[in-house]
């Protein structure tokens, strides 16, 4: 009996030593604790985009969508995230009207592509982003930058996020 309990006691001792080793290892550092040297996405606000320029950005996004037979809703907001222009392509889903506006507003408000929120949540597991008002974690919202200043943003919705993003980039390219 004595010899039968010896392996059990030895295993228990090994487990305790193993657990003690784990307790002494410091936990991995939280990447959110890093303090950047500069402000991220520190794009200054510029004069609001004009209606003519907003419509030109929408026309470019719609032209890109038509090349691929995508049916999208496209919204452009100014630097204060106020709607300037909107177009719904024939057959674009109705729910995407509000989503395209939301993407444009989020891109202007947070001064970054909405893809940053998508990546932050899905790839980096920064779930705190879900608690921020106005966030939309879906690509297809792109800030419109002119002369280094934010003048508005464009948002597209109705397709897959990657399709929305391609059309938005075409619209944003007109402004640059």
Q: What is the CATH number of the domain that holds 162?
A: 3.30.450.150
| Closest alpha carbon to 66 in 144, 173, 147, 163 | 163
Q: How confident is the model at residue 24 (pLDDT cuts 50, 70, 90)?
A: low
Domain-embedded: residue 117: yes
**What pLDDT, on the 0 to 100 scale, is given for residue 176?**
79
Q: Number of structural domains, the chain?
A: 2
Residue 56 has pLDDT above 80, yes or no: yes
28 and 75 in one domain?
no
Domain-embedded: residue 42: no
**What pLDDT, on the 0 to 100 scale, is given for residue 14?**
53
62 and 23 in one domain?
no
Q: Give pTM, 2 decimals.
A: 0.79
Question: Which comes out higher in pLDDT, residue 6 or 70?
Answer: 70
66 and 25 in one domain?
no
Strand partners, 77: 83, 153
140 and 86 in one domain?
yes
Spatial contact of 80 and 48, defined as CB atoms under 8 Å apart: yes
71 and 13 in one domain?
no
**What pLDDT, on the 0 to 100 scale, is given for residue 160?**
97
72 and 10 in one domain?
no
Residue 76 has pLDDT above 90, yes or no: yes
Distances (CA, A) of 7 to 1, 18, 166: 11, 16, 64
| Closest alpha carbon to 57 in 76, 77, 37 | 76
Residue 72 belongs to domain spanning: 51-175
58 and 26 in one domain?
no
Distances (CA, A) of 32 to 9, 41, 137: 43, 16, 18
- In angstroms, rounded to a whole number, what is the distance separating the alpha carbons of residues 73 and 175? 19
Contacts of 45 (CB under 8 A, 6+ apart): 79, 80, 149, 150
Q: Which has the minimum average pLDDT: 6-20, 41-55, 66-80, 120-134?
A: 6-20
- In angstroms, rounded to a whole number, what is the distance separating the alpha carbons of residues 159 and 176? 24
């Amino acid at each position: 009996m004595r010899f039968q309990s010896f392996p059990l006691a030895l295993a228990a001792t090994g487990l305790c030593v193993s657990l003690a080793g784990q307790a002494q290892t410091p936990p991995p550092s939280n990447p959110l604790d890093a303090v950047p040297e500069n402000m991220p996405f520190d794009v200054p606000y510029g004069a609001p985009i004009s209606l003519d320029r907003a419509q030109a950005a929408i026309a470019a996004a719609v032209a890109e969508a038509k090349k691929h037979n995508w049916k999208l809703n496209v919204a452009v907001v100014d630097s204060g995230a106020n709607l300037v222009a909107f177009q719904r392509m024939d057959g674009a889903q109705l729910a995407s009207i509000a989503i395209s506006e939301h993407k444009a507003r989020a891109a202007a408000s947070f001064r970054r592509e909405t893809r940053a929120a998508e990546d932050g949540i899905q790839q980096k597991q920064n779930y705190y982003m879900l608690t921020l008002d106005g966030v939309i974690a879906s690509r297809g919202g792109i800030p419109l930058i002119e002369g280094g200043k934010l003048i508005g943003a464009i948002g597209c919705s109705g397709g897959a996020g990657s399709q929305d993003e391609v059309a938005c980039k075409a619209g944003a390219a007109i402004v640059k």
